[in-house]
Amino acid sequence: MLYSTKTAEQKRIDLRQTLKQGGAQQFPGAFTPLTAKLIQEKGFPGVYISGGVLANELGLPDVGLTTLTEVAVRGGQIARLTDLPCLIDADTGFGEPMNVARTVQEFENAGLAGCHIEDQFNPKRCGHLDGKNMVDLDTAVKRIAAAVDARRDPNFLIMARTDLRAVEGLDAAIARMKALVEAGADAIFPEALKDIGEFETVCRELEPLGVPVLANMTEFGKSELFTRQQLADAGVAMVIYPVTLLRSAMGAAERVLDAIKEEGTQQSQVEQMLTRARLYELVDYEGYNAFDTGIFNFDVPTLDIGANHADL
């Protein structure tokens, strides 16, 4: 009931213990607190919070228009409703090294378990778009060093993302990854790798450094949608699905709106909807009812497959 039963500190420990080479732990992307609860209920080990999704939720493109406050507040709302560790997208850190330092501490305050910081210019572009502009190595290193220096909880995960693969090739990207690890990065996010062989190469090159590697399995991107087993065999530690739930939800919303417009009713779509009983279960009406019947003194609907649609 209410919020997570775990402290932020424990969730940060959980995240570090989860990330093992070849583990390919799956972190679906949450775009609301309620979706984070659903991710936990389905047995996943963690939650990913995409900067692109948070921008899209505000009706904005993923080009660096969101502010630190907007991202930290929404990230905190998601994190506090789940016992799972949440990794959040920090884009370019919202400014220069001092801004990066503040970003890390705001995310710590929000109860997040870790963040990743990338090496594009600000304003950035979505990692699977062309025409990205990259900062030089010195700037990229300073961002990570500032993040590491600023954190107060040593278990808060600092992940370095590099988009250099699409601009200068794999060898240059790997060289930068190693420099970012040297600067203190706890994990690496190589964006937009070409094929499974490139994931294998990155994991092999970074294995001696002891840092986990993340794979971004976003739809309609530059990487094929590899299976968890394929990525585990390549040595990947963590797999994110950043926009999958948002795209699924918006696709469903569009279909229902079309039906209402064309058919004059939503009736044809009701079978695909989350029932009222299931929604009440997710938000734990029963728990609140048991806690204080003086306020919540009604009967909570149960999951009844044979229920009349009028009761859903």
One domain, residues 164 and 66: yes
- Predicted pLDDT of residue 92: 95
Residue 257 has pLDDT above 90, yes or no: yes
The listed range with the strongest mean pLDDT (61-65, 129-133, 258-262, 284-288) is 258-262
Is pTM, for the whole model, over 0.75?
A: yes
Residue 307 has what pLDDT?
52
Mind listing the pLDDT tens digit for each residue in 26-76? 999 999 999 999 999 999 999 999 999 999 999 999 988 999 999 999 999
Q: What is the pLDDT of residue 2?
A: 84
> 196 is in which domain, residue-wise?
8-242
Is there a domain that residue 217 lies in?
Answer: yes
pLDDT value at position 225?
96
Residue at which a domain ends, from 210, 242, 274: 242
- Pair (167, 305) in one structural domain: no
3 in a structural domain = no
State whether 61 and 197 are in the same domain: yes
Kindly report, residue by residue over 167-178, the tens digit of the pLDDT: 999 999 999 999
Give me the residue label for tokens 């583990």: 23
Burial of 60 (0-12, 13-18, 19+ CB in 10 A): middle
Single residue among 242, 266, 285 that ends a domain in this structure: 242
pLDDT of residue 131: 61
Instruction: Say whether the peptide bond before residue 33 is cis (omega within 30 degrees of 0).
Output: no
Q: Is residue 45 situated within a structural domain?
A: yes
Q: Distances in Å between the alpha carbon of 200 and those of 13, 20, 122, 186, 187? A: 27, 15, 30, 19, 16
Q: Are residues 188 and 274 in the same domain?
A: no
pLDDT at 295 over 70: no
Catalytic residues: 48, 62, 89, 91, 116, 118, 126, 161, 191, 216
Q: Tens digit of pLDDT for each residue in 128-149?
A: 556 678 999 999 999 999 999 9
Distance in angstroms (rounded) separating the CA atoms of residues 137 and 157: 21
Give the pLDDT confidence score for residue 80 in this predicted structure.
97
Three-point CA angle 48, 155, 235, nearest 5°: 60
Asked whether residue 20 falls in the same domain as residue 67, the answer is yes
Give the pLDDT score at 81.
96
Domain count, the chain: 2
Query: For residue range 65-115, what is the model confidence (pLDDT) as tens digits?
Result: 999 999 999 999 999 999 999 999 999 999 999 999 999 999 999 999 999
At 160, which CATH number? Answer: 3.20.20.60
The pLDDT of residue 133 is: 87
Mean pLDDT of the chain: 93
Q: Check: CB of residue 45 under 8 Å from CB of residue 18.
A: yes
Please give the pLDDT value at position 64: 87
> Among 189, 221, 242, which residue terminates a domain?
242
Residue 303 pLDDT > 70, yes or no?
Answer: no
